[in-house]
Amino acid sequence: MATTFDKVTHGISHTLHDAGERIVDFKDDAARDLGKRVNTLGVMMKKHPLIAIGIGVGAGYLLARIIHR
């Protein structure tokens, strides 16, 4: 016969297991989406290298100005 303590610990264990599965699913979805975005960015950089360089230089300049303060 299961005690109240056993029922509570089983419920908590089950809830934590479900939460862990949802976190893993979220991580997998995020990694897959990020991979697609990185590939898209790489294609854009190959098609428009000067624009990509300009964006990089501009972002670097702004970051340097912010950090210098």
Better pLDDT: 13 or 1: 13
Residue 60 lies in a domain: yes
CA dihedral 8, 12, 14, 17 (to 10 degrees): -160
Model pLDDT, residue 2: 67
Quote the number of domains for the chain: 1
Report yes or no on 23 lying in a domain: no
Q: Tell me whether residue 5 is in a domain.
A: no
* Residue 63, in any domain of the structure: yes
Distance, in Å, from the CA atom of 42 to the CA atom of 36, rounded to the nearest integer, reads: 10
Is the pTM higher than 0.75? The answer reads no
Render pLDDT for 2-31 as a digit per residue (tens, 0 to 9).
Answer: 688 778 888 888 899 999 999 999 999 999
Give the domain range for residue 50: 34-69
Whether residue 48 lies inside any domain: the answer is yes
In this predicted structure, what is the pLDDT of residue 54? 96
Residue 61 belongs to a domain:
yes
User: For residue 22, is it within any domain?
Assistant: no
Domain presence at residue 25: no
CB-based contacts of 2: which residues, under 8 Å, 6+ apart? 10
